[in-house]
Amino acid sequence: MLADPYDQLPAITYWLLGSMTAITRFDVLSILPAVVIGLAPLVLLRWRMNLLTLGEEEARTLDIDTTRTRFVLIGGATLVTAATVSVTGIIGWIGLVIPHIARMLVGPDFRRLLPVAMLIGAAYLLVVDMLARSIADIEVPLGILTATVGAPFFLWLLIAGRRGW
């Protein structure tokens, strides 16, 4: 209600839909420490993620402190997400679509899944950003383009899951 409709409101709208237009080298360097700190436990505890997929009781049997491990993993993922969203805005569907695609390619082992998902996600975001800048005279917000891929992909997953594909 109080945002200036000519300056602040478009900036808020682009942040809500995601954009990489105004990102500078300084922005990337400013979030780099948070991203590295958040990624460290995710990379170091990839094998424990595999054990957590077995279930609470089985993981505890294998001497995994499931509560602490979950807390550290969720904290790391939250830190990485918060840092990147603070710069790019909310770019929906990437965190939902890309892990499923990566899992289809390399399977459920987090030792391979995590790096592959990060690489595919980065490549996908670069392609979407390139399309957003080139398909129209103005830049299309990234969230709109990722939703045009994400929604049909999840519809396909739903149908394929029910048919047992």
pLDDT digits (tens, 9 = 90+) for 3-50: 677 777 777 777 788 888 889 999 999 999 999 999 999 999 999 999
Whole-number Å distance between alpha carbons of 56 and 70: 11
Cα separation values, 26 from 30, 39, 108, 146, Å: 6, 20, 36, 26
The length of the chain, given as a count of residues: 165
Count CB atoms within 10 A of the CB of residue 113: 19
pTM of the model: 0.86
Torsion from C-alpha of 102, 116, 119, 101, nearest 10 degrees: 0
- With 80 as the cut, is the pLDDT of residue 2 above it? no
Count CB atoms within 10 A of the CB of residue 128: 23
Residues 6+ apart with CB under 8 A from 46: 110, 111, 114
Q: Structure tokens of 50? A: 């595999």
Which of 27-31, 36-40, 59-63, 155-159 has the lowest average pLDDT? 155-159
